[in-house]
């Protein structure tokens, strides 16, 4: 779909940038340094630290005194930390930026310019994410909705020169995206802007799908570029736990946001990935899957209440 811009850009858009950190001091320092060298500085930079023990908090205090630092006494996960950052943010747009990214000098300016020109129903702006180790290769330009009900990084693996111009996408990935504050408030559910029950993974896909149902759109902004050290924050985490977290959150996201016809079509297509997770840890997987089912069904009416377009209409438009 083509990108539609308003004819009279607003000069009042402001940007707060939120970073979530857990024991990634060196990555965080590099990311914050890149934000210091922006051609257009954000109004706020907020770091939410999930009880790091590697000196991250002290580093931010000493080396980046202008950064707002808020800390948790325990690791509460990515989504909960994002929500805390949004609560502290004052900008008309709130950008989520992974701590293992490096923002190119025009990143902030690109987002703010796109925000000023965006139509009023645009709630998400997606950066171009490149691999840090492969600077000409795309990591993501947003999230696509697939027929098995999962999300996948758009344009992943493509050469950056082959990427399309500014365009509408299904939704944004929170690794490097800006969200309109009004949209965040209007799509907030009982568990937060991002669903805080998602410790890690799928929280951005869930929010984006929910926002689509509520009538909001998303735009890809190729001028806003970041480089991403892919999985820099999860390389030292147990991979079987990560797989279970991904599949658990997939189930809940599907039950909350998809039409029942789509649920019936999608779940069988993910049978073997779900079976693999179950086989690795049957007791834990059973517990987590049942929790996801209960939670998804309980929250579904909240999303129905904010519906501006039907679930089926979203699926017809955006299925890939």
Looking at residue 83, which CATH number applies to its domain? Answer: 3.90.550.60
pLDDT for residue 231 is more than 80? no
The pairing of beta strand 217-228 with beta strand 143-145: unpaired
- Residue 7's pLDDT band, with cuts at 50, 70 and 90, is very low
In a domain, 204, yes or no: yes
Q: Between these two residues, 240 and 208, which has the higher pLDDT value?
A: 208
Mean pLDDT of the chain: 93
Show the domain range for 272. 239-318
Q: Is there a single domain that holds both residue 129 and residue 253?
A: no
Q: What is the pLDDT of residue 310?
A: 98
Q: What is the pLDDT of residue 230?
A: 77
Give me the residues paired with residue 108 across strands: none
Q: Is there a single domain that holds both residue 81 and residue 201?
A: yes
Q: What is the pLDDT of residue 204?
A: 98
In a domain, 1, yes or no: no
pLDDT for residue 61 is more than 70? yes
Q: Between these two residues, 90 and 244, which has the higher pLDDT value?
A: 90
**Residue range 104-128: average pLDDT?**
98
In a domain, 4, yes or no: no
Nearest to 119 by CA among 213, 209, 8: 8
Q: Is there a single domain that holds both residue 160 and residue 297?
A: no
Q: What is the pLDDT of residue 235?
A: 62
Q: What is the pLDDT of residue 233?
A: 59
In a domain, 234, yes or no: no
Q: Is there a single domain that holds both residue 85 and residue 206?
A: yes
pLDDT for residue 236 is more than 80? no
Share of the chain above pLDDT 70, in %: 94
pLDDT for residue 3 is more than 90? no
148 by DSSP, 3-state: which? Answer: coil
In a domain, 224, yes or no: yes
Q: Is there a single domain that holds both residue 82 and residue 223?
A: yes
Taking a C-beta distance cutoff of 8 angstroms, is the pair 299, 191 a contact? yes
Taking a C-beta distance cutoff of 8 angstroms, is the pair 226, 127 a contact? yes
Q: What is the pLDDT of residue 163?
A: 83
Q: Is there a single domain that holds both residue 224 and residue 250?
A: no
Q: Between these two residues, 301 and 162, which has the higher pLDDT value?
A: 301
Block residue for tokens 């309109």:
180
Which helix or strand (DSSP H or E) is residue 223 part of? strand 217-228
Q: What is the pLDDT of residue 108?
A: 98
Q: Is there a single domain that holds both residue 162 and residue 265?
A: no
Q: What is the pLDDT of residue 164?
A: 80
Domain end marker among 228, 260, 282: 228
Q: Is there a single domain that holds both residue 198 and residue 307?
A: no
Q: Is there a single domain that holds both residue 248 and residue 202?
A: no
In a domain, 10, yes or no: no
Domain end marker among 203, 228, 253: 228
In a domain, 215, yes or no: yes
In a domain, 7, yes or no: no
Neighbour count for residue 288 (Cβ, 10 Å): 20
Q: Is there a single domain that holds both residue 136 and residue 252?
A: no
Q: Is there a single domain that holds both residue 196 and residue 109?
A: yes
**Residue range 29-52: average pLDDT?**
98
If one counts the domains in the chain, the total is 2
Give me the residues paired with residue 151 across strands: 145
- Residue 16's pLDDT band, with cuts at 50, 70 and 90, is very high
Domain end marker among 228, 256, 283: 228
pLDDT for residue 107 is more than 80? yes
**Residue range 172-191: average pLDDT?**
98
pLDDT for residue 33 is more than 90? yes
pTM: 0.93
Neighbour count for residue 65 (Cβ, 10 Å): 8
Q: Is there a single domain that holds both residue 153 and residue 298?
A: no
Neighbour count for residue 59 (Cβ, 10 Å): 19
**Residue range 302-320: average pLDDT?**
96
Query: Which range is least confidently modeled, 75-89, 110-124, 146-160, 222-236?
Result: 222-236
């Amino acid at each position: 779909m083509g990108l539609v811009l308003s004819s009279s850009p607003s000069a009042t858009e402001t940007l707060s940038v939120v970073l979530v950190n857990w024991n990634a001091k060196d990555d965080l320092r590099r990311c914050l340094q890149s934000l210091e060298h922006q051609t257009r500085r954000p109004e706020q930079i907020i770091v939410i630290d999930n009880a790091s023990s590697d000196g991250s908090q002290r580093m931010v205090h000493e080396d980046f005194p202008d950064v707002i630092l808020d800390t948790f006494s325990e690791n509460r996960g990515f989504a909960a930390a994002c929500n805390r950052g949004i609560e502290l943010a004052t900008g008309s747009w709130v950008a989520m930026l992974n701590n293992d990214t490096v923002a190119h000098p025009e990143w902030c300016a690109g987002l703010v310019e796109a925000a000023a020109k965006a139509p009023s129903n645009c709630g998400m702006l997606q950066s171009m994410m490149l691999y840090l180790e492969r600077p000409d290769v795309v990591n993501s330009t947003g999230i696509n909705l697939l027929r098995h009900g999962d999300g996948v990084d758009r344009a992943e693996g493509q050469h950056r020169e082959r990427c399309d111009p500014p365009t509408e996408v299904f939704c944004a990935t929170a690794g490097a995206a800006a969200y309109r504050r009004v949209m965040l408030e209007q799509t907030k559910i009982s568990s937060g802007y991002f669903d805080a029950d998602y410790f890690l993974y799928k929280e951005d896909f869930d929010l984006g799908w929910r926002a689509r149902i509520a009538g909001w759109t998303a735009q890809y902004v190729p001028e806003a570029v970041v480089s991403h050290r892919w999985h820099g924050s999860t390389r030292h985490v147990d991979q079987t736990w990560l797989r279970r977290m991904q599949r658990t959150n997939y189930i809940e996201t599907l039950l909350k946001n998809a039409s029942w016809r789509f649920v019936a079509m999608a779940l069988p297509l993910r049978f073997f990935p779900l079976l693999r997770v179950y086989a690795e840890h049957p007791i834990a997987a059973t517990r987590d899957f049942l929790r996801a089912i209960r939670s998804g069904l309980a929250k579904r009416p909240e999303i129905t209440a904010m519906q501006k377009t039907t679930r089926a209409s979203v699926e017809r438009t955006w299925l890939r």
